[in-house]
Structure 1
Amino acid sequence: MPSTEMREPTFLVLAALADGRKHGYAVINEVSTLSSGRVTLRPGTLYAALDRLREEGLVRPAGEEVVEGRLRRYYELTDSGAEALTTEAARLRANADQAITRLRLRPTGGAA
């Protein structure tokens, strides 16, 4: 896992796989749901990301099947992927907590 923060789409792909294996289209839908529609992945972008994450050891293939004449490839989070997602979620939470704390300390009123 790189020592820098993850890009949001990578974080969301890993989060989409956190509760179990999914095929590509399901990952695309879950990312959209998790981001309240802010992040929309195209299939080419998703599969490039999954290939990169597989090379990094964060996801792995988890089977395939043919449905209505189309091949579905499934992916799942590895233990390293779960660890990377946990680390990034903690980093984001710590940053958000700092922002919230500082906003509470912000003086009210006054000129803008």
Structure 2
Amino acid sequence: MSAQPGPPLPNKFPQATDLVAAHSAASARFTAVSMVQTVLIYVVTPLVVCLVVALMVMAPRMARRPRYRVGQPWTYEPLFWTANPEGAGLPPAPEEDTVTGEPGGARGSW
């Protein structure tokens, strides 16, 4: 018994001419990208996104007033963290207990 040749097997790999035709058809659909467009896409766009994120992070900090530091003059409205001394029945603070001298503090700006 001899083996009978069967029908030819289909070729699963594309031929070189098919690849060239597919490549030329695909390149006909797309236009060339200029250098300016490339720079806009790959340089300017990420830079703008980074700047927007940085501004969103830093904007609240820039909008606040500067913090008070020990030894600097108090230029803000008075803040009361306790009840009104007159309304609480406490005697007023004596005047001679005010602090004088050079400013100091934990910040080290002596």
Length-normalised TM-score, structure 2: 0.26
Larger Rg: 2
Please give the TM-score of this superposition, normalised by the length of structure 1. Answer: 0.25
Q: Which has the higher helix share?
A: 1
Instruction: Kindly indicate which of the two structures has a greater share of residues assigned to strand.
Output: 1
